[in-house]
Amino acid sequence: MSNKTTIYDIAKELNITAATVSRALNNNPKISSATRTLVMSTAAKMNYKQNKLALALKSGKSNNVGVIVPRINTNFFASVIRGIEEELQPNGYQVIICQTHEDEERQIENINTLLNAQVDGILMSISNVSKKNDSFIERIVQKNVPLIFFDRKKNMEGVSSVTINDFKGAYLATQHLIDQGNKRIAFLSGDRSLEIYEDRYNGYVAALADNSIELIEDYIITIKSNVVVGREVVEQLLKLDHPPTAIFSTSDFAALGAIQKLKEFGVKIPEEFCVFGFGNEPFTKFMELSISTVDQSPLEMGRMAAKVFLEQINNSDNLKIEKKVVLMPELHIRKSSLKFPK
């Protein structure tokens, strides 16, 4: 049989009406389970394919959910997507993944594409350049499409989010470095116009203040999340009159670059210099010099974002309910920062 089998072909094969076939395929309760089973098995044998778009237009549901991320080539976002899929797939939803590559025009295109595809919801981690065109994000809400932010979010009325406590993660990491005898701690931050990086900065500042340690502006550097930048920053910091003895990086990749450069300079880690990252990328634990880092629980974050979506889609009253889920960060203390093992 060709792939163009219709409900009329199935009806003819079973000597029943096309309307009965249609009802059986769409689980109409008026159709007996025996007839439904017969229709479904015959449809499978005849290689019948339902028109998903037609069904979506008829039911108002596409059973597709859009996921927008800055990029998928990091363990964090890949794990979040996995968590979303693991929660949604058993509930009959397929996931459409879009990447912004930190480009606002691309983010706008992603939103328009998903809305035009009639997705039932959008789960989104905003681009770090998402500053001026909030109207495109607000358009999602105006169309009554459930929107759930994860990790990177905007504070919008009626929009739910799932994040970790970035302030606490940064505070605990900085406190650990202080407990290891460091008072001169550099802070490598992503773009602080994003709330997650501002929260991590505030956690770092609070830990220093609680330990009566002076905040030194030369130690605070805005970075991109990559190895090359981490290497460059170390050269910059070591040229200071009073260089730091530790780095807390909001990126594991920059932390890795920093460690590489410190080794090239012959600096002993952690005896002379401690390094702490953020993200718990897989490479951090498998290196000979394992890297201390903050775990963001991406799998749980993805699952929770999906659960919030399901709550909203399954109860129309929940569409306007604002749910702010905050997960607790977990520190993984490893060789790169542990001067004094217990």
Picking from 122, 121, 67, the residue whose alpha carbon sits closest to that of residue 99 is 67
> If pLDDT is split at 50, 70 and 90, which confidence band does 137 have?
confident
pLDDT reported for residue 168? 97
Does residue 124 surpass a pLDDT of 70? yes
Taking only the tens place, the pLDDT of each residue in 261-290 is 999 999 999 999 999 999 999 999 999 999
More confident residue, 157 or 180: 180
More confident residue, 47 or 121: 121
| Torsion, CA 63, CA 68, CA 74, CA 79, rounded to 10 | -30
> If pLDDT is split at 50, 70 and 90, which confidence band does 1 have?
very low
Cβ contact 277:249 at 8 Å? yes
> If pLDDT is split at 50, 70 and 90, which confidence band does 56 have?
low
Does residue 31 surpass a pLDDT of 60? yes
| Calpha distance 333→276 (Å, rounded) | 9
More confident residue, 316 or 23: 23
| Calpha distance 75→227 (Å, rounded) | 15
Name residue, tokens 């044998």. 45
| Calpha distance 193→152 (Å, rounded) | 11
Task: Select the highest-mean-pLDDT range: 101-115, 139-153, 164-178, 184-198.
Answer: 164-178
pLDDT reported for residue 128? 72
Angle at 276 between CA 270 and CA 279, to 5 degrees: 145
Whole-prediction pTM: 0.80
Amino acid at 5: T
Which three-class secondary structure state does DSSP give residue 250?
coil
Which residues fall within 8 angstroms of residue 179, CB to CB, at 6 or more apart? Answer: none
Which residues fall within 8 angstroms of residue 127, CB to CB, at 6 or more apart? Answer: 70, 100, 102, 103, 104, 106, 107, 152
Write out the two tokens for 291: 């890297």
| Calpha distance 147→91 (Å, rounded) | 18
Q: Omega into 270 within 30° of 0, i.e. cis?
A: yes
Which stretches does DSSP call E strand in 175-308? 185-189, 220-222, 246-249, 274-276, 293-295
Query: Which class for 222: exposed (0-12), middle (13-18), buried (19 or more C-beta within 10 A)?
Result: middle
> If pLDDT is split at 50, 70 and 90, which confidence band does 144 have?
confident
pLDDT reported for residue 316? 62
Does residue 213 surpass a pLDDT of 90? yes
Does residue 321 surpass a pLDDT of 80? no
Rg for the chain, CA atoms, rounded: 26
